[in-house]
Chains A and B, each alone.
Chain A
């Protein structure tokens, strides 16, 4: 195999194939990734921790196994790195915080164990928003992660390090987590694919909790096929997480290239268009036109207000986060950033009855959304961000508490989907005039990830933008 640039330019699926055929070794791929993490990763402030010697040892083992004819799974030898909130027994997991500084978990997250079983290499811990509570990527403790498309702009959050690292082609995929948009927002801000699966499809055992009723684990990758490969490895019931559902895990790539001709997509107008910039509206209209060209039935839906759903999602997140953080908030309040402490404190003010009511309303809200919004459509196309990706300076809620309300609004389009628990995928759809990427989200029916992936792939093939690398990346 030739240079690191060529290696970095490969997608996860392409690398996995090259590894399986012996055209590239895990050591070559890992060494190139480590080099990128050390240089570009530091420049972007994307890296929380890396153990290069361990990573190379793991890569050598993967190569040895392959030479002996033993391939663990479809990700054998592929270097990945994850948000610093997935516990691995005996290894630091600091969750972007001062509170968890030096924390060494005693368990390994189910999703990491499953990726290990699929043969993936876990080569670094990636920076994140403090305790995953923030949609922009700011973190005054570890420093803000920089967007590789323009380092003055946010990466989106809270999975900031994963998005920056995958976009800059330092690793081939990363796990993020999504409680109100924390996979889809950074994926959109960095020109990537991010899947938030249906609630109950992927185990959260060994992942730092934020809001256990709305936390979801999923992949951030360059292409939809890459995301499907990672999702395949991590999905399925887990006795360690009682919220996972005992369903057969389908082949998520079964319909990958089957197209969308004759199938129905809802284009979300109404509430989703409130406050949307003309640039973003134009890109979404162009995406709808792509689906029309592909032969899909495109229906525009005037979506009624989802403000109440957003309120309930915020309330549940606040209360559950306040419960998890209660002891630390009493003993070490000064160790939180101002913005995160403010949001957790807010959670302590909600009456318990309102919290339970918000949970009891969830099923009916889901019924309503399926009937009134999704209708007969297989998927709904909606914005992720309503505006072009903002700068770090203009959205610093910790430096300027007056912006906290506006910053919380960044997740207005994504948060309702967490309350509803529906699957969603963020798909890159071009660039705005400031040179930053934009993305839309496709929202599907419960456990219909295979169909969602099919729709995302259809767009990616026709109008997608996965080949162009950002100015700061390993492939240059």
Chain B
């Protein structure tokens, strides 16, 4: 991550989230953040999603009853 983009992230956090960094340390690994977002986006293209997150509990129960 370049120092320019580091400054950008710090400014964004200050203005949008109200968090001022106490030092010059950075908000984590921006590459990892971007990769995780891309990974989820790829999942939404490659896999059908449930309509809402609570379906997960139903899936757990379904697999609990299934025979291996």
Binding site for B on A (CB under 8 A): 198-200, 213, 243, 245, 247, 264, 307-308, 311-312, 314-315, 318, 326, 329-330, 333-334, 338, 341-343, 345-346, 348-351, 354, 356-368, 370, 374-378, 401, 404-405, 408, 421, 445-448
Do residues B32 and A357 form an inter-chain contact, with CB atoms below 8 A?
no
Do residues A361 and B19 form an inter-chain contact, with CB atoms below 8 A?
no
Do residues B53 and A405 form an inter-chain contact, with CB atoms below 8 A?
no
The distance in angstroms between the C-alpha atoms of A448 and B64, with both chains bound, is: 7
Nearest Cβ on chain A to B38's Cβ, whole angstroms: 8
Do residues A351 and B68 form an inter-chain contact, with CB atoms below 8 A?
no
Q: A333-B21, A350-B33, A360-B49 are in contact. Are A421 and B56 (CB under 8 A)?
A: yes
Do residues A359 and B26 form an inter-chain contact, with CB atoms below 8 A?
no
Q: A357-B49, A377-B68, A445-B68 are in contact. Are A200 and B57 (CB under 8 A)?
A: yes
Do residues A360 and B64 form an inter-chain contact, with CB atoms below 8 A?
no
Q: Inside 8 A of B35's CB, which chain A residues have their CB? A: 311
Task: Report if B7 contacts A (CB, 8 A).
Answer: no
Nearest Cβ on chain A to B49's Cβ, whole angstroms: 4
Q: A312-B40, A360-B49, A360-B52 are in contact. Are A445 and B64 (CB under 8 A)?
A: yes
Q: How many residues on B have C-beta within 8 angstroms of the other chain's C-beta atoms?
A: 44
Q: A199-B60, A364-B50 are in contact. Are A312 and B43 (CB under 8 A)?
A: yes
Binding site for A on B (CB under 8 A): 9, 13, 17-23, 25-30, 32-33, 35-37, 39-44, 47-53, 55-61, 63-64, 66, 68
Known interface pairs A341-B22, A374-B68; 17 further A-B residue pairs with C-beta atoms within 8 A, sorted by A's residue number: A213-B53, A333-B22, A346-B27, A346-B28, A348-B19, A354-B40, A359-B56, A360-B50, A360-B53, A362-B50, A363-B58, A363-B59, A364-B47, A364-B48, A365-B43, A367-B59, A446-B61
- Chain A interface main SS type: helix
The distance in angstroms between the C-alpha atoms of A476 and B28, with both chains bound, is: 44
The distance in angstroms between the C-alpha atoms of A446 and B63, with both chains bound, is: 6
Do residues B9 and A361 form an inter-chain contact, with CB atoms below 8 A?
no
Nearest Cβ on chain A to B60's Cβ, whole angstroms: 5
**Cβ-closest chain A residue relative to B30:** A349
- List 28 contacting pairs A-B, 8 Å CB cutoff, sorted by A: A198-B60, A200-B57, A245-B57, A245-B60, A308-B42, A312-B36, A314-B36, A330-B17, A333-B19, A346-B28, A349-B33, A350-B37, A354-B37, A357-B44, A357-B49, A359-B56, A363-B55, A363-B56, A364-B49, A365-B43, A368-B47, A370-B63, A377-B68, A401-B25, A404-B29, A408-B32, A445-B63, A446-B63
